[in-house]
């Protein structure tokens, strides 16, 4: 029971070979153990909204570095970022 609980909460990981053995013993496809994985991946890939963006360390580091620049390089960096964004926008 304790070992299963550790797998469920993520304290221990199960190897691919062991997962295969479990699927064989339970006579079920390995994909059964990945039920809901596609939805979880879609949720992780969803764009961050509102305050979520500013809670990321990466964003705070970028802002701090940006404001350490003088005005002219800061303006040029902003123009560069805007041009990169417009280049990647879908047509």
Are residues 12 and 35 located together in one domain of the fold?
yes
How far is Cα of residue 8 from the mean position of the Cα atoms in its chain?
A: 20
Does the model's pTM come out above 0.75? Answer: no
pLDDT in tens, 37-85: 677 666 666 565 666 777 778 888 888 888 888 888 888 988 898 888 7
Domain co-membership, 36 together with 2: yes
Same domain, 39 and 53: no
Residues 39 and 24 both lie in one domain: yes
Reported as a single tens digit per residue, the pLDDT across 14-26 is 788 888 898 899 9
| Residues 5 and 17 occupy one common structural domain | yes
Angle between helices 71-88 and 57-67 (to 10 degrees): 140
Structural domain that includes position 12: 1-46
* Count of domains for the chain: 2
Q: Reduce the secondary structure of the chain to three states and give it as a string.
A: CHHHHHHHHCCCCCCHHHHHHHHHHCCCCHHHHHCCHHHHHHHHHCCCCCHHHHCCHHHHHHHHHHHCCCHHHHHHHHHHHHHHHHHHCCC
pLDDT at 25: 92
């Amino acid at each position: 029971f304790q070992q299963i609980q550790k797998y469920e909460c993520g304290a221990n990981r199960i190897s691919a070979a062991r997962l295969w053995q479990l699927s064989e013993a339970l006579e079920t496809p390995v994909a059964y153990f990945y039920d809901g994985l596609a939805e979880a991946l879609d949720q992780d890939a969803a764009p961050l909204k509102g305050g979520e963006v500013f809670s990321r360390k990466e964003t705070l580091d970028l802002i701090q570095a940006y404001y350490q620049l003088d005005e002219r390089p800061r303006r040029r960096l902003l123009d560069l970022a805007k041009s990169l964004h417009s280049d990647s926008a879908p047509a």
